Structure 1
């Protein structure tokens, strides 16, 4: 019996299998179905059963037969439901569910699994100062800006990237709405449905959700505290030939790992040999005390595309991200942004540029980094009192990747926590392969409530 088949007949199971592949965009209109022989071998059913199932699908107009060629998808696609594309077997470990939970208004909730700073940690006063200055001006930002976005902001980003060892002229930088918007544009620009994309395991759960929407095929490589497992990386790239590798490097989400120079050099050599592109999501770079290795610095934006944003550090109210990439691709990516979101958010870019220029953003981040360091030490100590040891202690940032004792199921734990007003992020939601379910991601800025540690203590003792 096929997985999830319940009590269906064998013919019904094959019909459901084909329909499911069409609904998940694995099979697109015009795609050829497996031959009768191949489907029989895959399912273990007889060829006559497969023929009957294909005949039923053809009668319903889902597929059509071409004499001498086989069976092909005929039905028009239903509207895309991202949550249903390769959906996890349980909704509590699904990336789209986690995204919804991360932005829902849950009064009084302890957001221990959140991926953002608390509101009172953000640059509210600096933003209000920039807004007052803009209001006193004689003009408002105009939509008639460079197609690449607000020029002074791009110049600032160019100088800031150079401090991180990344050489990118302002004309190699495209402003976007956010880091997520940047990644979406890059995927639109470089991917076709069915293309293979390599992700870390674990990785940021929105990478998985976004790639569902682009109907990409995801493969995974295990993560280590220094970067991807190099032997596994080389083997997966050689076998699967991915188009892109999407990753965080300097501050990895969810583990907090920091890429080592050795790993960066080796990964770039493998990527070059395989003609694979690397998309480096560097939105946490301003959390660093000391600049770490990053692919874009070693590569010079030849086969690396660098993404950044201020949403995690300054404010999520002013949407301003950016993409830095090779010069001959910038105009084409700008055209793509133009036809999807026009010119972006010039007001947000101008306000953020003012915050960077007048020093208020630098002062804000100095305070945030110091507070994060104290919070990290405090949470690691409190977890140690409960016998919990992080997978690695990050050099910076807000995320801790924590294994649970005794093989506790993090998804079950998250459900129980939610009943007590505690939002956890179970490990499997970050895993392309559904693993790591005995881990949780914790946000050290959201773990000070005694109720959270009381809950953990009960769970660890049970």
Structure 2
């Protein structure tokens, strides 16, 4: 035990030199005796430190040659390298990995998608069969802007909500996340400021970190950000972009009030800020105001995808924006990926959207979710949670825990019972949402509610 702190000192020292690129992949480490002298420890302590670094894959032991930095240790820094360090229970990458890698034996009220049997499987299968009739969808690259039929379908859907948009102003992308990433690549430079809601969709925070930008935030209430607070933050921080959900906000389930939706684009334009409006949940709440429709895609960029309503496996996203931005984004997409979504995926989704079955699916899904929200809200309220969003739209509720309880601690306890939660601070840039959690009503189960109740009791007991 006495040598443990000194061993960690050696480990941390070597890791920091690798992180600073003072030691790179393939470099030989100092000998055991040299490191012992450098760190002022015994050779046995260095041997223990090197053994632990070998076990972690940071360095490699080469017989009769010494120890060398592993290629894995010098991998390029990803988004997490630029993001603030957080406990795993409030780390969005950890939450996503737990949800995506689960074996099917766990309950996932913390995940951000619908169960497979809630999705339009028959319509998607028909769409894929139709798409496969064209050999080009199986064998060729797609067109630069993406499948024309799908872009027309998207333009028609925009028209239904009052947004007039020519299909040539729509670019198909590999996913909704890819759409946001392309915009950040085009419009951001390292050190730029990006405005986020607080709370917000957690992947926005990771995206900002990946582009070496600085995140600032504005509180998001039931009807959106307060315009006066929004204006003050924009004037003080001069952000380049504002990334937001509007139709159904993730995670709160709120929506922009019409006066707010009118005011925000003007405030943004006055300070040279571009709004990126992610309306991936638009079909869960048709008729709600969008800034893109009110602004006419002048200073607002509209993005979305179909992963929440059709399929998370058949990926396709889109961007609707000013013509010059669409041209630049298309070139950037060619440079970074030589095209957007799979032609097979976009053609299949186009077929699904063109069928009456999709409209009927969404009508049925909205009714099903209405019932699920009411049932889940009642169950959670019976446990002492204060629930927002039960009368709204979409599939998530924003829940405040009883006083004194921390959602990150509950998430850790629930994971031990095979239940994945989404703690509030996953979504909060200011880390001010510890008493909250996001709950997926389509993933509510007796096992999930029981695990939450037991975790709350255990935390309350201390």
TM bucket (normalised to shorter chain) is 0.7 to 0.9
Aligned mate of 1:299, from 280, 295, 300: 295
Separation in 2 of the partners of 1:250 and 1:411? 28
- For residues 99-110 of structure 1, what are the structure 2 equivalents within 5 Å? 99-110=96-107
Separation in 2 of the partners of 1:115 and 1:140? 30
Separation in 2 of the partners of 1:275 and 1:456? 45
Separation in 1 of the partners of 2:385 and 2:263? 33
Give the drift of 1:373.
0.9
* 2:220 aligned partner: 223
Aligned mate of 1:83, from 80, 97, 100: 80
- For residues 131-150 of structure 1, what are the structure 2 equivalents within 5 Å? 131-136=128-133, 140=137, 143=140, 145-150=142-147
Give the drift of 1:130.
1.9
RMSD: 2.4
Is the Cα–Cα contact under 8 Å of residues 258 and 394 in structure 1 kept in the other structure? no
Aligned mate of 1:265, from 262, 268, 278: 262
Is the Cα–Cα contact under 8 Å of residues 257 and 394 in structure 1 kept in the other structure? no
Is the Cα–Cα contact under 8 Å of residues 394 and 400 in structure 1 kept in the other structure? no
Separation in 2 of the partners of 1:114 and 1:280? 22
* 2:324 aligned partner: 328
* 2:407 aligned partner: 410
* 1:245 aligned partner: 242
Give the drift of 1:20.
12
Greater shift after overlay, 204-213 or 136-145?
136-145
Separation in 1 of the partners of 2:434 and 2:343? 42
Give the drift of 1:133.
3.0
TM-score (normalised: structure 2): 0.81
CA deviations over 1:102-146 (Å, ceiling 9, x no partner): 311233101010100001111211111222334455764563643
Matched, 1:343 2:355: no
Give the drift of 1:98.
2.0
Matched, 1:232 2:233: no
CA deviations over 1:125-168 (Å, ceiling 9, x no partner): 11112223344557645636431111111011101011122221
Give the drift of 1:355.
1.1
* 1:49 aligned partner: none
* 2:176 aligned partner: 179
Separation in 2 of the partners of 1:388 and 1:20? 46
Give the drift of 1:78.
7.5
Give the drift of 1:334.
0.2
Is the Cα–Cα contact under 8 Å of residues 143 and 343 in structure 1 kept in the other structure? no
- For residues 194-205 of structure 1, what are the structure 2 equivalents within 5 Å? 194-205=191-202
Residues 138 and 19 of structure 1, relative CA distance in 2, 3 Å threshold: closer
Residues 20 and 425 of structure 1, relative CA distance in 2, 3 Å threshold: farther
Q: Show structure 1 runs of 5+ residues with no match.
A: 1-5, 8-14, 24-76
Q: Secondary structure at the match of 2:397?
A: strand
* 2:162 aligned partner: 165
- For residues 3-42 of structure 1, what are the structure 2 equivalents within 5 Å? none
Q: Show structure 2 runs of 5+ residues with no match.
A: 7-12, 22-73
Is the Cα–Cα contact under 8 Å of residues 196 and 244 in structure 1 kept in the other structure? yes
CA deviations over 1:400-432 (Å, ceiling 9, x no partner): 110000231111100000000000000001011
Separation in 2 of the partners of 1:20 and 1:265? 50
Matched, 1:214 2:222: no
Q: Secondary structure at the match of 2:76?
A: coil
Aligned mate of 2:315, from 310, 313, 319: 319
TM-score (normalised: structure 1): 0.81
* 1:118 aligned partner: 115
Residues 135 and 197 of structure 1, relative CA distance in 2, 3 Å threshold: closer
**How many residues end up aligned between the 2 structures?**
395
Residues 340 and 371 of structure 1, relative CA distance in 2, 3 Å threshold: same
Is the Cα–Cα contact under 8 Å of residues 301 and 320 in structure 2 kept in the other structure? yes
Residues 85 and 168 of structure 1, relative CA distance in 2, 3 Å threshold: same
Separation in 1 of the partners of 2:227 and 2:221? 9
